[in-house]
Amino acid sequence: MNRVVSYLRVSTDRQDLESQQLEIETYTKKLGIKVDEWIEVEMSSRKSFDKRKIDNLLSKLKKGDVLIVSELSRLSRSIREIHNILHILMEKKINLHVIKQNIVTNGENDMTTKILVTVLSMVSEMERELISQRTKNGLELVKKRGKKLGNPNIRTHVERIKEESEKWAERYRSLITGFVNSGLTQRQIVEELNKLKIQTRRGSEWRLVTLQRVIKRLGLKTRR
């Protein structure tokens, strides 16, 4: 008989655990299924596969079993690790349900699913990097306000725009590199970015010329 296993990767905050449990219970109730086993592990990206019980989890699952997580980052925050986990699940024909990203796999080695998971993993990673950068910028601003202003080094308007453009392009390096490695053409990459509703630096839809500028700034080579 096929089993349903839920994997909870939580912080020390008890509310985080309860929130994941409630989300999974609500989800499984809608599907009319029951969780047979809950696997909990404290969140830490520095912990090894073994300490995060991933190996134990994957060895328990058999063909036709269902693995449920609230979101991709609960499996791992590393794109490479998520790829490896997904590959093992597909090889063993295990069904994966990711609630937040609305991913449901049927255990088949499906290229479309792999690309989707890669893209969503990259978007999540970018969001974490942006939050980290905003926090860093905020701290720097607080420090500057606490100091006496001297004679600032005033840069030209053109230099500022160039620097901002390079920083903005760098945010999308992982995402666009993933598309390139998947063999997508430039036009296909533009379509995927617009499907994901990711806006350009000016807040508009992506166009081919916009992508080409970003690719040039990042020094990437793509299929036309």
pLDDT score for 151: 45
The two tokens of residue 82 are 């998520």
Number of domains, the chain: 2
CA distances (Å), origin 175, targets 3, 8, 68, 106, 208: 34, 26, 25, 25, 16
Strand partners, 42: 10
Give residue 214's pLDDT band: very low, low, confident or very high (50, 70, 90).
Answer: confident
pLDDT value at residue 182: 79
164 and 92 inside one domain: no
**Within-domain flag for 30:** yes
Per-residue pLDDT averaged across 191-220, rounded? 85
Q: How far is CA 170 from the centre of its chain?
A: 16
Task: Decide if 11 is inside a domain.
Answer: yes
Same domain, 101 and 169: no
Task: Say which range, 28-32, 155-159, 198-202, has the weakest mean pLDDT.
Answer: 155-159
Asked whether residue 75 falls in the same domain as residue 167, the answer is no
The confidence score (pLDDT) of residue 149 equals 43
* Domain of residue 87, CATH code: 3.40.50.1390
d(CA 178, CA 196): 14
Q: Tens digit of pLDDT for each residue in 11-50?
A: 666 677 888 888 999 999 999 999 999 988 875 545 554 5
Overall pTM surpassing 0.85 (yes/no): no
User: Is the confidence at residue 101, as pLDDT, over 70?
Assistant: yes
**First and final CA of the chain: distance in angstroms?**
49
